[in-house]
Every structure is written in structure tokens, then in C-alpha cells.
Amino acid sequence: MNLLGIGIDVVEVDRVKSSLDEFGERFINRIFTEDERAYCQKQKRPELHFAARFAAKEAIAKAFGTGVGKEIGWLDMEIFRKASGEPAVRLSGQGAVYADSRSVSEVKVSLTHAKHYAAANAVVMGV
């Protein structure tokens, strides 16, 4: 496997909370998949988990070198937890098509959050 790209992002939890409060479902539905929404909304402090997933999606887009947009959209990336608890990435739609065109074999992601910040890094591997 070859390293195709790495990305990192840090998000202020209060900015995500402000977007959740101000734009509600419109913001949530534009950025997060149904499964991500369900997971985050079950948590004691949903804004932490939304912020970490927002950071992860930004980090993934940076690792691809595209940013979020035409090649890979917000809903083309889903952050989920494996049975082990490890975060993982599922690409769909245009994101999966773009990854396939670049011979991407795996996207790894790591998340963290604290009281005020959430961060994530992503690694894109290819054959």
C-alpha cells in the first residue's frame, strides 16, 4: 500500500454547537448521515461527537487533497464505530467514485475531543 494523503482538522465545539442551535436540522441533515445523527444524538454531549465527525470529514477531504465539494461531499463520508470501538470511514456516492478513480484502498481516521475542541486526522492509502 502507498500513502496517498494525510489530513488533520481541529474544530471549536462551541462553533458546532452554535450551528446546531441556530440552524438545527438543516445543518445536521446537510453535514451528517442518518447513522451519524443517530449516534451523536444518543450521547450525553452530542455537540462533542458532531464536532469530532465534522473535523474527521474535513481531515478526510484534506487527505484527498480536494476539500469538501465536487469530488467528495459531506454526505459522501460517514464516520462510524467498528465493534471494537475504533472509528472508521465509509465512502459512498461521488466520494466512493472519486476514491475508486484514485485507487484508494483504505481511509483511516482518528478522532479526539475535549471540552472546547474536537480534532481528527485522516490517512488515505492506495494500491
Note if 108 is an active site residue.
no
The H-assigned helical ranges of the chain are 13-31, 34-41, 46-64, 93-101
Kind of pairing, strands 2-12 and 117-126? antiparallel
- Which of 57, 62, 70, 108 is catalytic? The answer is 62
Note if 82 is an active site residue.
no
Residue from 43, 116, 117 nearest 81 by CA: 43
Say if residues 51 and 14 touch (Cβ distance below 8 Å). Answer: no
- Which of 42, 113, 115, 116 is catalytic? The answer is 113
What lies within 8 Å, CB to CB, of 51 at 6+ separation is: 11, 12, 13, 15, 16, 17, 113, 117, 118
> Which residues are marked as active site?
62, 113
